[in-house]
Amino acid sequence: MTAHTLTTPSHTTSYLAAGPAGGPLLLFAHGWPALAATWRKQLAHFAALGYRVVAPDLRGYGHSTVYGSPDAYRQENIVHDMLELLDHLGRERAVWIGHDWGSPTVWNLASHHPDRTAAVASLAVPYRSLELGLAAMLPLVNRDLYPEGTYPMAQFDYMAYYEEHPERATAVLDADPGSSVRALYRRGNPITPGTRVSPLATLRRDGGWFGGADRAPDLPLDTAVLTEEDAEVLTRSLARNGFAGPTAYYLNHEANAVYARQAVNGGRLDLPVLFLGADYDATADIVTTRLAEPMRAHCSDLTEVRVPAGHWLQLERPDLVNAHLADWLSRMGITPAP
């Protein structure tokens, strides 16, 4: 696996690459607050199978450009970065694979640029949800668990908190990046879905992250999700760049929705689509909510699989994630030459 940098007049993208140069291209987009390196278990696996694998640090992360203006983190700009990277790689199309905030990016690539998309896969975040903004997701939540009078924003209350208090949210996470990483990267809780209110549903009431504390609690590392080396790489990067860029991804819901609605063919996807849902993800809950219904209505070639894991499923269950991705690619005929 090798590290590379693409610099254009407008932007710098750092990325990891592995596998045969001529293999089918899989391009992995990470989420919040992550790095290209959080895909390392997928990169190693698929490179060994003969795929060309590439994972960029999205803007605001790693050694990619960090911008001061929240507007810079609109999805339209991030899609542009990915198309520049695809051109730089000398490829017409890629299989786009995303997680968390990388999911809206790959969904937008598929829906706005189907000619640059061989297929698209998302982990945790279904199509026609986050890329359409907070207002589009609220009607789909589980109001039995989150009565509107008590939890008006349901499990997405933290997104409203970011919009109202971005500086405070950033400062708490910046206060101790190592503790923030250890607190945020936790395995899923296999409690019966829909029976436990997410702590993210009360962030505004609690005064912010971690019950209104000034910094993250000093928790032990959850080695089911991160190794010591993984945690150190993430901590160094977030300490260098800060959380302001990552937080800004949450400050563009309206602009992102306008852009998403400009997709070709009314947003309908007729190319191969894979969605890997996390059974124990209390935020991107696809078990007891209707969050995945718009995706099902807009995709004509959808494969949907549930993984018994939490939000970080590619780290928590790389065996299953890799197997499901490989099986889907094989069935789609997207395989390396013998």
Catalytic machinery residues: 100, 311
Listing from the earlier edge strand, what are the strands of the sheet with 117-123? 2-7, 12-18, 52-56, 25-29, 94-99, 117-123, 273-278, 302-307
Q: Are 62 and 70 in contact (CB under 8 A)?
A: no
* Angular region, 101: left φ>0, alpha ψ -120 to 50, beta rest: alpha
Strand spans (E) along 112-270: 117-123
d(CA 292, CA 30): 20
Q: Are 28 and 39 in contact (CB under 8 A)?
A: yes
Tokens of residue 306, six digits:
């549930």
Long-range CB contacts (within 8 A, 24+) of 115-118: 116/83, 116/86, 116/92, 117/93, 117/271, 118/24, 118/25, 118/93, 118/94, 118/271, 118/272, 118/334
What pairs with residue 305 in β-bridges? Answer: 276
Tokens of residue 165, six digits:
């208090």
